[in-house]
Amino acid sequence: MKRTVAEINQKIKDGDVVVMTAEELIPYVQSEGVERAAKEVDVVTTGTFGAMCSSGAFLNFGHSEPPIRMQRVTLNDVPAYTGIAAVDAYIGATELKTDDHAEYGGAHVIEELVSGKAVRLKAASSGSDCYPRKDIDTFISLNTINQAYLFNPRNAYQNYAAGTNSSEKTLFTYMGKLLPGYGNVTYSSAGQLSPLLKDPSLRTVGIGTRIFLGGGTGYVAWEGTQFRTNVETKFGAPMGGARNVATIGDLRDMSPEFVRALTLPGYGVSLALGVGLPIPILDEEVLKAAAVSNEQLFAPVIDYSVQSRNRKPIKHVSYAELRSGKIELFGKEVRTSSMSSYLKARQIAETLAERIENGEFLLTEPVAPLPSDRSSGTLEVRSKEEAV
C-alpha cells in the first residue's frame, strides 16, 4: 500500500479523509492489524504540551516619531535582544526580569501578548543622525506592533530523560523538584502521543512541514539545536534525547490555552507550548511506527545529583511504567510524575484531527529533509589554535 501527500490532501478537500489520533490508532492496529489499518487510515495526529525552554519571539515595533535605533530594550522589564535592526527585538522565553526576579520572564511576556494584554516597552539608544531619538517608554500589544512570531530553536524533543536524585538534599531543576534519596522520578513526554516519537526517522517531517503550534498553524523551519540521530533505539524509537525541530508561527494565531508561562521554583522560567504533528500514512512502515505504544517506548532514568554531562542512565523504563505512577529503583518503589500534560497532548491531537477532517488544515510535503546522520558536540576549554 502506497499513497502520497497530494492524494491525502485531495481526500481532505473531498471530505473523505480518515484521521485517527496516535492514541486511537494503537488499539485499532492491535485489533485489525497493520495491513488493514494502513489501507483505512490516511492521517495520524500527535500532540505534546510541556516546557520548551528553547523558545522565543521576534517582534517589530514600528518606527517612532522621531525615529529611534533601539540598542537596549525591555518588555515588562525583561531584556530583549536588539542586535538586529532599528526596531526589531527577540524576546527569549527564559530571560528573567532585570531585578533578577526569578518568577517572571520572557515566557510571561509572550503569554501576555498572546492573551491580548498590553506590555510596557522601554528602549534606549545613543542616538544618531538618522535615528535621533534616545529613549522611549510606551505600551504595546499585538494590535499595535507589526510582525510578531514565535521562532523557536528547539521544540518537540523526540524523547527525554526522566530525572531522579540520589543525594541527601532536595534539588530544584528544570525537571522540577527532585527529592533526596531517590524520593521521586519526574519525566516530560507524551510518550505514545509525542510527535517525533511516532515518526522516529522523520520520514514525513522536514523543512516546511505544517504543524499545530501554540493553538495556531506553524511550520518546521529547520533542524532543532542539539539535533542528533546517534541514539540507541528499541522498537525503532530512540531511548533518549534525539531529534527535534525549530519551529515558527504567527503569535496572532495562537491561544493562551496552548502558550503558557511556567515558573519552576529554584530554577527559573520556561514556556509551556503545545505542538501537534500530522503524520500522513504513506505506507505500512509509517503506520507501524505511528502505532508504537507506551509499553514499547523507553526513557533513561538519570541521576541529576551527578553534575556532569556524562551522566549514565540508571536504567531505562517504559512510558507505561512511568505513567503508572511508580517504578522500581534498586528494589525500592519510587513514585513518578509528569512535567508535561498528557491531557493537553490528547486535546492537541484531537483538535488537529478535527481541523483536518473539517478541511481546515492541509498537509505539506517537506521542501527539504532533516539530517539522517547527525551527532551533537560538546563545549571544551580550548586555546584559539585548538578551536579551528
Active site residues: 130
What does each C-alpha distance from 331 to 133, 182, 318, 334 come to in angstroms? 67, 11, 17, 9
Instruction: Give yes or no for a contact between 195 and 297, defined as CB atoms under 8 angstroms apart.
Output: no
**The C-alpha cell that represents 268 in the structure block:** 527559573
Phi, psi at residue 118, to the nearest 5°?
Answer: -85, 145
Is residue 186 within 8 A of residue 176, CB to CB? The reply is: yes
Q: Cα dist. 310→184, 200, 302, 307, 378 in Å? A: 21, 24, 10, 9, 11
Contact 54, 154 (CB under 8 A): yes
Q: What are the cell numbers at 279?
A: 503524520
Contact between residue 379 and residue 225 where contact means Cβ atoms under 8 Å apart: no
H-helix segments, the chain: 5-14, 22-32, 34-40, 106-114, 284-290, 319-323, 342-357
Q: Are 184 and 304 in contact (CB under 8 A)?
A: no
